[in-house]
Each structure stands twice: as C-alpha cells, then as structure tokens.
A and B are shown apart, each in its own frame.
Chain A
Amino acid sequence: MIVGGQSLVTSPPVFSHDGKKLLVCTGCTVSVFSTTTGMLITELEGHTERVTSIVVVPVAGTVGTKFSDYCWTASLDGMIFYWDFSTPDLLKKVNVQLPVHSFVIPNILSASLGRSDKASQNLYAFISVEDANKEVENGKHLHGSIQIYDLTNSTRAGGVLAETHKPETLAISKSGEFVGIKKQKQLNIWRVPNKNLKSVNMKKLKLHHTRTLSCLAFHPTKCIVAAGDVSGRILIWRGFGKMRHSQDGGGKMKIDMGDRPGVRGEDDADSCSTWHWHSSEIKFLMFSSDEAYLFSGAKEGVIVVWQLDTGNKTYKPNIGSPLMYFTDSPDPSLSCVSCEDNQIHLLRMPSMDIIKSISGIKPPLILSELQGDRSRVTIGCDRSIGFVALPTKDYRIQFFSLLDGTDISHLQVIERNYDPVDETTVFISLVEVSDDGSMMSTVEEKLPEMGIGGLISLKFWIRGSHTGQYTLSTIIYEPHNNAGVSDMAFCPGRSMAVSTSYCGNFKVWVNNSSFIHSGDEIQEKGGWRCQSVSSYKEIPMTAAAFSGDGSVLAVAAETKITLWDPLNNVLVAIIGDSLGPIRQLAFVGSSEYIMSFSSGTKADLVVWNISNLSTHWSYKLLVEDICCTRSETRVAVLALLSSSDKSISTGKDGMVLVFDVENPIPVSTWFVKKAKGGRLSFINNKLGEATDGKLLLAYINGEHNYVLFDPSNVKEQEDLIPKSARRPQSYAHDENVSHGYASIYGELPSFDLTKARSSDSIPFVSSERPWETIFSGSSHALPPLSKLCSPFLESLLEKAEKQTVLSQ
C-alpha cells in the first residue's frame, strides 16, 4: 500500500541545525528532505494524528556533535516524541493527553535531555493545546490553552498560562527569552526566567491593537516584537516589557505617558510604528538573521523586505502562490518559504533566488458557486504510468506520479498571468488523458462578467518525448458554441475523441495530418478536426465513454444512454432511463456491461446490459466516481455516505466498493475519509515487488491525499491508513556539498590546538605584508584596480597556505 499526497504546508517546516536537512510535517509523519537536492531522505513515523510542530535541538558545542540530529515533534494525538532523525530512531515519548497545536522549548540550549549530569535543568516546553471538553464559562468557548510542561519528568508544571478561543501558535524569540501568542486583538508575551520555571512566576505582558492580529515575530536580540493583522498592517513595538519584566513581582510602576508614539493605553512599550503594504491578512513575519530586515508575506505571493530602521521596502515577486510560512536556517544563505499550492521553495538568501522547490501534490481547485453543478473539476489519470494530471490555480496542469509520490512536470495551459489575489474567473475545467497517455485534452473556461465575454476553449495536446511533456496540437474555441463541455473521452487505439455538451450535441474529433502545398514546399499540417456532430432529441449530453475496442460510443443524454457507431455516426441503440441525469459512464472491460451513475436527489448506480438493453442491477447510492479495468470485470465505486449514515464512524464520509460486475454483492468494501470530490482509478503496478500484472487501485480523496493498494490483498473493513510509506529518494551521505562559510571560502584547515601549542615554532607570519606595500603610495599613482586585485588576493592565499604548512 502506498500512501501519499499529504500537504507539506500544514505547519511551518524546520531546518536541522546544520541547514542541510529540512523537516516538514506531512500528515502523521515528519518528512526529512535534503536542502541540496530537494529529495526525501527519510520519514519519522510514529504519530497517529497530524504532526503540528517540530523543534530541532540546537547544537551547543562543536565537539563530537557532528552527527547529532535530534528533534522534538508534537502531534494532535497528544504525544510529544523525541527523535534522532539521522537514523531515524524514536528516543522518548511524552504523553500530554491533549491535542498539541504548537509548542516551543525556551531553555533548550541550556538543558539537554541526553546529558547525565545533574546540574542540567529540567526541560520545559510551552504547549498550546486544545481542550474540546472544557465547559463553557461566561458564554465563551475557550478551547485553547497555553500550559507549561516538564518534558524531563513528563509532568505538567503548574497551571494554565492563558486561555484562548482556539489553539494559538506560539512564537519564541531566538534567545529563548520571550514567548508570545496573539490573542485576538492583543499580544500576550511572557519573559522566561532562567531558572525556576513555574507558571506562577510568569509575568504576562499585553500589547493591544484595534484589529485582529494574525501573526507575530520577535527580534533576535532586541526588545522588538512585530505583529501582523488581518488587514495587512504590520505593527512594530520597540522596547516592550522594560517596566513589567524588569521588576520582579513588584507593584505597578508609574508609566510615563508622554513621548510614546503609537503605543495604546497602558501598554508597556517605548514606541509602536505601523507599516502597511499588504492588502490582506499577513501570513508570516520574520526578522532576518542580521537583525536589519523584516520579511513579511501574505496572499499576494510577494515577500516584502522591510528595512527595520527606515521602513523602506524591497520586494521579491513572482513566487506565484499565496505564501504561508517563512523559515530561516542556521545557514545564513538559506531559507525557505512555504506556499499555499503545496510547495516549499528553498531560497538563496540575500538575493532570494529559488534554488530548489519541494513540491507535493497540488491542492484541489476550489471554484465559487457560480457554476452550480458544473463546478466539478475533473482530473486526468494515466493508467499505464500511474500519474495524474491535476489542474492548478495558476492555469497549469501538474503531472504527479502516484507511484513515486513526486511532481513530474508542469504544463502551462492558459497563457495568462496568474495573480493570487484575483478570484478565479479563468480555470481549467476538464482534463482528460487517453489510456496510453499519448494524447490529452483540456477544457478551459472564462466566466463572463455580467453576461459580457466568457469563452470556452478546448485544447488537444500530444505527448512529447518523455512523460509529462505535452505539446499543444490544436485549439478549438467555443467547441459547442456557447455551451459548456460536460465530458470528454478518448477512443482507445485511435486518434479519436468525443466531447459532449450541455447544449444537446456531441462532437467526434479526429486527428488527421494532411499535406498542404505552398509554393515549392510541402507543409505538413496536422490537427484535430470535427468529424461529426450528433444530437439526440436536443437533450443535454452529460457523459461519454468508448468501449474497450473503440467500436461503440456511449453517450448519456441525461437519463438515457445512447449507443453510437463513432465511425459512421449512426445511432445504434438506446438504453432507457436511470433515475437522474447520468454523470459518468464506463464500459466494464470487454464484457457486455456498461455502468453509469447519476447524482442529485435521485442518485443511483446502474449496471446495464448492452446485449439485451436492460438493467442488470442497480443501487440507490450517491456515487462520486466509478472506475473499470480494461480487461477484467472488476469495477470500483466510490460512494458518499449520506448524512444520516454518518454515525458509522467519525470523519469517514465515503466508501470504496469493489464489485464483480456479474454480481451486485460487493467483493470488498473500505470506508474512507473526505470522499467528496474524490477519484478512483486502476493503474498498472510497476513497482518491481509483487507485480504479476496486478492492477493497483488508486483512491485520491477530496484533498488530494491518495492511497494506492492492491484491492485483492488489503483486507476488507481495514482502514486505508498509511502503514508503509514512500521510499526515500536519496541518502544523506552522498551529499558533500559545502554550505555557508565553507561554500564561499572553502573548508577551513582543521586546526589542532594542542599540537600547535606543543610545537615550539610559533605560527610564522611573513614579515613582508604585501597588502600594505601594494596600497602604499599616493592615490593618483595607484595602478588600476584590476592589477591590484589579483596580487592582493594571492597574498592572502599565500599566507593561509604557509600557516597550514606550519600547523602540520
């Protein structure tokens, strides 16, 4: 069983202490990616619910810790785990019992779990937990609470620090001195004492604002805190907490009310300034490691770099998706930004160029309700190779390999600039890939504004030399006049396709290449042309399917199925009435059955017999997708459970049924989550082990998480929940790429202190210091810089060499 498609951007990723690895929360696991290759190294498996936050243990000393990669992870299952993620091994489990939404460990530097000496302190964590069972107080639902937890002894240390409506994300300053949360229109900040960490000792500082705050960040060294609000403003409080935190437990000092620009009421800060550029809720704020800049990001997909002293700003545009999180690494030349389209871009820092992108499966396209029933965006699926073609928000198609769990390529379908702020008015509504993957068609729709404009166009693509590479063959504007395309189907084994439309007709398209003589040259012209147009009583055509040998074309005319000879455009037969308008048709292998389902109030699933034009069996089920094999008689059905049945189990709103078409009793059944908008597909198993030509069933749920399994092996009623996972794509040890300082200046010679001391010779510095002689002289007589530069740099190099020789 292969599971994949988890979102990479549910929580902020974290860099390892050397900046070579990136720890990303992917569902119940933590994936460790290499920052040099962007490939998956390993996964930490153990949590049973979504992992929400990670804390990497920083390295205190430099000796002997080269391979220590330790981290803490917290999950919604109420557990905090301690891992060695280089091996990966689970070292310690702490049960908090409440779902942890966020946690930070302020004194992680001074206290380390591995140390055996008694002198080290206990390890305390601030945890933000959700307590759903908490009773209502004063008409307020305070589900979230901030607590302190002793990780060393696995006990709760003291009471609740703060209570919030929903669990908040904790922020911590780099030194571990301050911990803060946003609480609606105010910030709560605690100063962490160096010892004797108890909740009673904690003093809370509040900073107020007039709008709901969305995020906050602490300055690495100074008493500066920045917060963003939902309207896109950034507030910067300088010198907060001087009075409150300085005096321990004393009474209120008199606050000097004058000369505190921008500070509200009795807030404890020197000044507060406001910057405004973003037009929507600020998603992240982050101070740069050199303390001079502040990064902010929001829905526009632009990272704004604010100069902290002046408020001047520069921009990093063209990220092309709403931003979520920004994480900096211990390596000052590397950081990463998480985007809403399930991508993490690794940035080379001062210039903010994208070095690598770690991309997961794209999230589903969410359309406004303008389209009503037609808002179903379909995704294409190539059975032979096992990849899906997903329409994305930025007018592209992502080809995603289900077997490998990797992004293959992107294809720009609509040539339009994508602006994340715009509402979706132009989108890809249908993607259909032929069975062998050699042809693809896309339908794109431009929605009209107040009845003006609007365009539907159909594009045919031909596969290029490698998978996922397609070239545009033909564009057909308004394939069915003004009406929308309801379905597309490719004829197996022939360059033929059919498109059905809501305006009551369907068209058969053929690809014929022709020679056109122009002057002295022969021009090869190929393209998809309409071969025939047909309609049945002007009834809207809703679905189409070709039989396995391509000789019969079935087109659903609302409740009836019409069978056609696609070559001669002759109506062969009509199979009568399902209960509601048919949404999808599928021929069952090479058998004489055709399957259809309809949606709406009279939803049903029907298997028709073509030979005697009658119903074979039917169910009254709300079906989301069906899928048939080309050779066998197995069919898989994804059904939605109606709301009344939901009591079966929490969160499971659908089921996957596998039938043998002769028999209405399902062969096997599984319950699944988030089935709305899900897809099923049989794909060929190419994964070396256990092949024997068996087909795998792929189930992609509404959030584009997917699972691949062999329907004959996985036990019935078993949950489709990950057990084994993807194979790592690379190993950490093949990376010998240097970072940071070493990447610029090369490896430093290993400097052995003791040896240098023992030897009598003092490191010899050449008495001739060329950089002094080079630059001496009057300035107008200096040789040009190009001549000066190389001897100067050479002189530096020589010195280093001599030193290394001497030290050895």
Chain B
Amino acid sequence: MMADEATRRVFPTEPASHLRPRSRSVKSLVSTPESSFWRTFRSSTLHPSYLHLPITSLSFSPNSSLLAAASSTSVRVFSSLSLSEYDPDFDPTLFATLPLPDLAYSPSFRCDGALIAAGCENGAVRVFDLPNDKPPKTLRRLNAHSCASRVVGFPLLDHKLRLFSAGDDALFVQWDLPTETPLFSVPGAHRDYIRAGSPSPVSPDVFVTGSYDHTVKIWDARVDSGASSVLSINHGHPVESVLFLPSGGLVATAGGNTIKIWDVIAGGKPVYSVETHNKTVTALTLAKVRDDTRLLSVSIDGYLKSFDFSRFKITHSMRYPAPLLSVAFSPTGTIRVVGTNNGAMYMGIKKKKDEFEDQVGSDDFAWSVPLPEKPTSRKNIRYFKRGQSEKPSEGDFIIKRPEKVKLKEHDRLLRKFLHKDALVSVLKTQQTTSIMAVLEELVARRKLIKCISNLDNDELKLLLSFISKKATQPWCARFLMDLAKWVLEIRAEDIRSGGPEMAVHVRNLRSMVAHEIQVQRSLQEIQGMISPLLVIAGK
C-alpha cells in the first residue's frame, strides 16, 4: 500500500557478476572499539634463549615490573620497564635467570612481588628472592612431589607464607613456607596428571586444580576431608588450564578446543561453552581492557582470542605464526606476552593512547565555557558560506538530498534507446566486464543483431578486435563464440571489402580459433588420462 515510487530505483547495467567469481576475502574489516584497543599495542618479538625450546609458562609480578618466563631448565625474569626498549644484540632486559635442576615449570610471584616460586621436572619446588641488585638466591626447597611439579602458585590474597603446588604425581599440597612443611596434602587428588591450578581471588584457602582425567576439582584447605574435594566438575577433555574469574564465583576451564565457564557457587553448573579455537587451548589469563575484564585464551592453532565473559562473546582474535603455549597480561594493562613452542615470545606493548580513552578524558572538560566564536563580518567570504559546512548533531533528523544516480555514458545512451551508440561507447572503454554487461542488456532488449548490422566499418573493427581478444576467455566464451559466428555471418560482405585492417582482425580471429582448438585437444588428452583414475577412485 505504500507509494513505491521511491523504491523504484534506476539500475545501471552492472558488470555482470556471474562472469567473474567475486573474491571471497573481505577487505574492509569492521572496526569495533575492542579491535581499536588491541591495535594500540605495538608488537615485537623476543627470543629469551637461542635454543628453540617451548615457553611453557609466563607470569607477571603483581606490580607489573617483572615478567617470568619458563623455558627449558631455567626461569628467566625480565624487567618489564625495559622490555619496551629491547635490543636483541645486547640483552639488558634480562633481569635474572633462576637456576633449576631440570625443566622449569610454572613460575609464580608472591603478591608483593618479592619472592618467586617455580616447579621443576624432577618434582622439586623452589622459592627464590629477587633483590634488585644481587643475583637471585634460593630461599626454600620444597620436596614432596615425586614427579614433575607442574603447578606452583602463591595465593592471590595477602597471605605471604603459603604456597600450593600440584604435579604429575596427582599430589596436591599447600605449603607453609617458613618451615618447608606441607599444611594440607592430598595424595591422589586426581586420577591423572594435574596440569592446571589456580588460587581463588577471594579466599586464601580455596584452590582449583584441573587434570588430564577431565575433571576440575575445588579444594578448601580449611576442610580436612581427606582425598575428596569440595566440588568436582567434569570438563569433558583433558584440562590444560583453569582460572578463577575475578568474582571468585566463576571458574573458566580450558581443555580440548573448548573453554567452559562454570558457576562454582551454584554447585558447578555450566554457564557457557566457547568453541572457537580449532586446536587445543593451552592457557588462559585475564586481561584488563579499558574498564572491562576479558578472558584471553591461546591455543595450538596460533590464535589469541579475547572473550568477554560478561556478554559471552568473542570480541577479538589475533593470529600468531606459531603454536601458542602460554599467555600473560600485565596487571597494569599495558603489556601482553604470548609464548610459543619454538622459543619465541611475542609481545605487545601499549604505546599509543587509546582513542577511546581520549574521548573519556575530554569529558572532564566538557563543563568549561566554550570560547565565543569569532563573528564573521560581511566582507569575509566565510560570511556567505556560513552554515554550509555545519555538521548535524546527534539528535538532528537528517533529510538527505535524493542521491543522484551516476550513470555511465553507455547507461545514459541505453536509457535513450540509442543502442548502437551505447555499444560503440562501451567498446571504446575497453573494459571487458562493462562490454559484456552492455552486450547482455542488448540481448535482453532483442537489439543485438540489429546493432551489429548497423555498425559502420570502423565500429565493426572495434567489435572484431574485442572478440578476437576475449572470445576464448572461459567466463565469456559461450557468449562471444556465438556472437563471433553471427558477426561473421551478418557482416561477411563488409569484412571482405573492409581493406587490410579488417583482414588483420579476421586473421587474429582465425589464429585465436586455431589456438583454442589446440587447447581443447590437449584438455581432452588430460581428461582421457584422468577419467580412468577417477573411475578407479570411485570404486
């Protein structure tokens, strides 16, 4: 019932899209605030060791001044302040190297950043202090694990004398540091290797561990209930990483190519499941993006993905050239580091100021009185142009001038029913797709044959040269072959009497046909060779 005059558009003769398959890559990517945030990071690469050994774990100290990376038999500690001016020849960023007897795992800083603990392949857990000017010193050696102690962690809260560790021997221990004795020990906490663990952000006595037996268990050191956990959740895949989300009520688990969010308070109810990685998710960490918190996940498939767990949506993803094993994001929100399995660390350091933050910042001054505009006198040209470049404000209702359809020359001529002129004008442009579009339009109007018979000799030459150039291109061959046949049939007289130039075009056409026959013959040979193979494959 609407007046459909406005919807009656003018359609130009489009370059026929069926002729050329459109490229599937989309160039203009949608820019979201999130992607602009991630773009403000300047990326660099760091090779902590010249051996290509995987970087199994990364950790930032709570005040962001230090970064610990576990690879091969040492934990390297970098000063994050100097990471930005990292020079590959001279290595001043290396703050310290912690000596460990075997392959090092899971470095963990204490909440004040003064101590660092790390696990080891032979099961030892060592605690070092990190004085500013002296080399690090081993403070404590905690020996309880019989196999690799893969998970070592200080509590997140202000509880400086405790440490927990878990390992491949399925033993889970909470240590009292000064005495080097276990306070709470669960042998056989899982039925397989424990490879993931995380302290609770709200309680110093609550931990979560994840194991290759597909389960995630929550432990409370205050409840001495033997080998049984407070809560056990089945993730469905071997668990590679677990993480308490900041509220302490949700736990994120990663295993296989899925990340799952569980509600611990509701008794381990699954909240959401993300399956965006193509391969095993290896590590999770939290990142501060502006005022929000995101869950970063890295995977063997080389992708780092940012997941907004308040909206349950993947907000950003980044690709790296190698399988990723570990990820860390500095608590200040300025550095992100990913570790790969070939010894390289990829860093992003936030350099630019975020555009978004700029806007927020400018809000503080919005109440200040704007400067009065300079009045323009009548002599000034601006007086006459005033208001022309006025930008509409947000609440304004914009009435746009009806957009003028820009028509090309041949479209204008087609609208005037000057079919032959349109054909000639488009032939002069030499744009194959446009020419094909006009030819098809002429067919639809039943005017092509008439046009061909009305062309004069010069225009006929144009058409012949186009045909002889393009007739064998597969995407317009069917049309142009038929057309060539008709042109030769209708204009045989003119071609014969057309002089030497016409003869050149016809010769070109002939050689094109000969060449095409050659091509077809060789294609048939190939087909003859392939078809028996296909028949065999079909059986």
Which A residues have a C-beta under 8 Å from some C-beta of B? 38-39, 318, 320, 345, 353-359, 406-407, 410, 412, 415-417, 422-423, 425-426, 446, 448-455, 457, 475, 477-478, 482, 516-523, 525
User: Is B3 interfacial (CB-CB < 8 Å)?
Assistant: yes
**Cα separation A518 to B319 with both chains bound (whole Å):** 10
Contact of B10 among A417, A422, A451, A455 (CB under 8 A): A417
**Cα separation A85 to B246 with both chains bound (whole Å):** 74
Q: Are A452 and B482 in contact (CB-based, < 8 A)?
A: yes
A109 to chain B, nearest CB (A): 34
Residues of A contacting B1 with CB < 8 Å? 38-39, 356-359, 406-407
B486 to chain A, nearest CB (A): 6
Contact of B316 among A345, A359, A520 (CB under 8 A): A520
Name which residue of chain B comes closest to A353, CB basis.
Answer: B5
Known pairs A356-B3, A425-B445, A454-B443; A478 contacts B11 (CB<8 A): no
Name which residue of chain B comes closest to A452, CB basis.
Answer: B482
Q: Are A478 and B18 in contact (CB-based, < 8 A)?
A: yes
Q: Are B11 and A522 in contact (CB-based, < 8 A)?
A: no
User: Is B444 interfacial (CB-CB < 8 Å)?
Assistant: yes
Q: Are A452 and B446 in contact (CB-based, < 8 A)?
A: no
Query: Can you name 21 A-B residue pairings with CB atoms under 8 Å?
Result: A353-B3, A353-B5, A355-B3, A357-B2, A407-B1, A412-B9, A415-B14, A416-B444, A417-B415, A422-B444, A446-B440, A448-B443, A451-B486, A453-B439, A453-B440, A454-B443, A455-B440, A482-B478, A518-B26, A520-B317, A521-B317
Q: Are A415 and B449 in contact (CB-based, < 8 A)?
A: no
What are the interface flags for B182-211 relative to A under an 8 Å C-beta threshold, 1 for contact and 0 otherwise? 000000000000000000000000000000
**Cα separation A39 to B14 with both chains bound (whole Å):** 38
Which B residues have a C-beta under 8 Å from some C-beta of A? 1-5, 7-11, 14, 17-18, 24-26, 29-30, 35, 38, 276, 314, 316-319, 415, 439-440, 442-446, 448-449, 478-479, 482-483, 486
Q: A449-B448, A520-B319 are in contact. List 14 more A-B contacts (CB 8 A).
A: A318-B8, A358-B1, A412-B7, A417-B11, A425-B443, A449-B443, A450-B448, A452-B486, A453-B440, A453-B479, A478-B18, A516-B24, A520-B316, A523-B26
Q: Are B18 and A449 in contact (CB-based, < 8 A)?
A: no
Main secondary structure, interface of A, reads: strand
**Cα separation A451 to B426 with both chains bound (whole Å):** 22
Residues of A contacting B11 with CB < 8 Å? 415-417
Known pairs A425-B445, A452-B479, A522-B317; A475 contacts B18 (CB<8 A): yes
Residues of B contacting A521 with CB < 8 Å? 29-30, 35, 317
A695 to chain B, nearest CB (A): 28
Contact of B449 among A450, A457, A516 (CB under 8 A): A450
**Cα separation A449 to B448 with both chains bound (whole Å):** 8
Residues of A contacting B14 with CB < 8 Å? 415
**Cα separation A425 to B35 with both chains bound (whole Å):** 49
Residues of A contacting B415 with CB < 8 Å? 417
Q: Are B24 and A422 in contact (CB-based, < 8 A)?
A: no
Residues of A contacting B483 with CB < 8 Å? 452
A459 to chain B, nearest CB (A): 11
Closest 10 CB pairs of A and B: A477-B18, A453-B443, A354-B3, A452-B482, A449-B443, A354-B5, A415-B11, A521-B29, A425-B444, A38-B1
Name which residue of chain A comes closest to B30, CB basis.
Answer: A521
Q: Are B25 and A357 in contact (CB-based, < 8 A)?
A: no
Name which residue of chain B comes closest to A423, CB basis.
Answer: B446
Q: Which of A320, A417, A475, A519 gathers the greatest number of chain B CB atoms within 10 Å?
A: A417
Known pairs A38-B1, A356-B3, A516-B24; A422 contacts B8 (CB<8 A): no
Contact of B29 among A38, A406, A452, A519 (CB under 8 A): A519
Residues of A contacting B440 with CB < 8 Å? 446, 453, 455
Q: Are B25 and A518 in contact (CB-based, < 8 A)?
A: yes
**Cα separation A489 to B11 with both chains bound (whole Å):** 31
A153 to chain B, nearest CB (A): 44
A540 to chain B, nearest CB (A): 21
Residues of A contacting B478 with CB < 8 Å? 482
Residues of A contacting B449 with CB < 8 Å? 449-450
Q: Which of B10, B14, B24, B478 gathers the greatest number of chain A CB atoms within 10 Å?
A: B478
**Cα separation A356 to B479 with both chains bound (whole Å):** 43
Q: Are A451 and B482 in contact (CB-based, < 8 A)?
A: yes
**Cα separation A140 to B17 with both chains bound (whole Å):** 59
Residues of A contacting B7 with CB < 8 Å? 410, 412
**Cα separation A452 to B415 with both chains bound (whole Å):** 22
Name which residue of chain B comes closest to A455, CB basis.
Answer: B18
B474 to chain A, nearest CB (A): 13
Residues of B contacting A423 with CB < 8 Å? 446
